[in-house]
Amino acid sequence: MKTADERGKPLLRFRPDGSFRVLMISDFHGKPDYNPKLTWAIETMVAYAKPDFVMLGGDQLCGITPDILKSYLTDVTAPMTRRGIPWAHVFGNHDGEEPMSKAEQEPVYEAFPLCLSSAGPADISGVGNYCLPVYARDGEHVAYHLYALDSHTNVHDFTRKFGLPDDTVFVLPNHFSDGHDQATPMFDQVMWYYNHSKSAEKEAERKIPALLFLHVPLVEFCLMYRNPENVGFVGHKREDVACSELNSGLFFACLERGDVKGIFAGHEHLCDFQGQYCGVTLAYDCCLGYDMSTHDDMRGGRIIDITEDGGLSTRQVRLWDIAGEKCMRNPDFFEGGDKYYIRDLHT
């Protein structure tokens, strides 16, 4: 039974009972002098969830050099390293800020033996578009796919790529979403997913169920809180859905292919809700960082349980429910203003 891929990276495989657990943790917003409570929070979440695989959901570190990034990643992935748990990442809207581009950061990530991320095809937009196979317990065939897509920085990625005027207005007064100029995967990335999915089905002679991870949510996430009874809304929304006003057609492509069971995003620090639309679960993974804006009772991670026969269940786990007041930020820290210091632990 093969245990490593062509890069020497470990293969993902379902447990003997046919189960597999993903832990998604997002929005660390680290910096060279990051709050040491971050590593405690990651250790606490990993110890609680006991995952088979960890996905870092974007905005890992801002303002870095290669040495700082390597040291930082060594620290934040230590809970996985000690346990031998493979992990991967998607880039967030802040990860590509100067001085290092995402293309320059990617090799630093991939140098970690347990990191399964890859840069992805060079001829499509973004960095970090890839698909990870999860093998059946017998190791003979792929039972599930884990897709990752780069959701870019902001809507001006489109103006630069396609030569549109810098002052192009994307968000009109009567808008589809909550009215933000965020980015989203571009159409060539949608086509890459679509074609990869078709090729995989042809090779396997069956449809392979999948999860899809990205940082910035799709516009369809807005339907969750606007139609709570229809979608089985669970969780909390304490801020806008800061998605793109542009729709790349990714959700429609997933519906047409019929393989993606769940789409998971980070980005919002005050949202951890989930719902189901057209049979697809749309869910936030709320933040885990201590160097950015959030409420202490919102920090946590998302557990995603899949089964070899295509099943999916998911829930957000709050650090507050695991560790209580120990998870609270230093009360002298008021980053972002008083509104992020005020907490309501009962909502």
- Report the distance separating Cα 254 and Cα 202, nearest Å: 17
322: number of Cβ within 10 Å: 17
The mean pLDDT value for 291-311 works out to: 92
Q: Is 278 helix (H, G, I), strand (E, B) or coil?
A: coil
pLDDT reported for residue 346: 46
Tell me which residue of 147, 32, 25 sits closest to 77, measured CA to CA. 25
Tell me which residue of 106, 120, 119, 136 sits closest to 11, measured CA to CA. 136
Asked if the model's pLDDT at residue 236 lies above 80, the reply is: yes
What secondary structure does DSSP assign to 282-310, as a single string? EEE--B--SSSS--TTT-EEEEEEEETTS
pLDDT reported for residue 336: 47
The least confident of 45-49, 127-131, 139-143, 306-310 is 139-143
- Report the distance separating Cα 290 and Cα 311, nearest Å: 34
Residue where the block lists tokens 């060539």: 188
CATH topology for 12-340 is Purple Acid Phosphatase; chain A, domain 2 (3.60.21)
Q: Residue 296 — pLDDT band, cuts 50, 70, 90?
A: confident
Asked if the model's pLDDT at residue 341 lies above 70, the reply is: no
The whole-model pTM stands at 0.95
Q: Is 72 helix (H, G, I), strand (E, B) or coil?
A: helix
Asked if the model's pLDDT at residue 347 lies above 50, the reply is: no
Output 307 or 63, whichever has higher pLDDT: 307
What secondary structure does DSSP assign to 45-95, as a single string? HHHHH--SEEEE-S--BSS--HHHHHHHHHHHTHHHHHHT--EEE---TTT
pLDDT reported for residue 32: 85
Asked if the model's pLDDT at residue 186 lies above 90, the reply is: yes
The mean pLDDT of the chain is 92
pLDDT reported for residue 240: 92
**Most confident among 55-64, 96-105, 297-306 (mean pLDDT):** 297-306
Q: Which residues pair with 55 in a beta bridge?
A: 24, 88
- 104 burial type by CB count under 10 A (0-12 exposed, 13-18 middle, 19+ buried): middle
Q: Checking phi first, is residue 204 left (phi over 0); if not, alpha (psi -120 to 50) or beta? A: alpha
The mean pLDDT value for 124-131 works out to: 97
